[in-house]
Amino acid sequence: MLSNENKVLGLIGIAKKAGKIVTGTEMTVDAVRGGKKGVKLLLCSADASQTTYKRIKNTAEYYKVPFYTLGSDKEKLAGITGRGGEQISVVGILDEGLSNAIRGYIEGN
């Protein structure tokens, strides 16, 4: 688990409240491909399936979007994004400032 995991989750929650996230594999991949929403960062849960992980990683690499795997599981990610009771493997962050802050905590800067 990341040492700054709670801070990262808090920033994801702020992004959710600001309407600056997209969740779920299909919606997130579509948002990256479409370019309209401007996905600045892709985050994947620690327990995402290998298929989901590979798809998001490949999408991130192809479209040059930063990608990280979180230490949190799908249920925790769903709860922080307001989708409690569900399971969310993928979150796209649409805000540049929040994306940079999250990356800073993940990278330890």
Burial class (CB in 10 A: 0-12, 13-18, 19+), 38: middle
Q: How many domains does the chain have?
A: 1
**Residue 2 in this model has a pLDDT that exceeds 60:** no
Query: Can you give the pTM of this predicted structure?
Result: 0.89
Question: What's the CATH code of the domain at 44?
Answer: 3.30.1330.30
Q: How confident is the model at residue 44 (pLDDT cuts 50, 70, 90)?
A: very high
Residue 64 to residue 106: CA distance in whole angstroms: 18
Q: How confident is the model at residue 80 (pLDDT cuts 50, 70, 90)?
A: confident
**At residue 43, what is the residue type?**
L
**Residue 108 in this model has a pLDDT that exceeds 90:** no
CA torsion, points 63, 1, 105, 14, in degrees to nearest 10? Answer: 80
Find the mean pLDDT for residues 62-91.
Answer: 86
Q: Which residues pair with 92 in a beta bridge?
A: 22, 42
Q: How confident is the model at residue 77 (pLDDT cuts 50, 70, 90)?
A: confident
3-class secondary structure, 90: strand
Q: What is the DSSP letter of 86?
A: S
Domain of 47 in residue numbering reads as 5-107
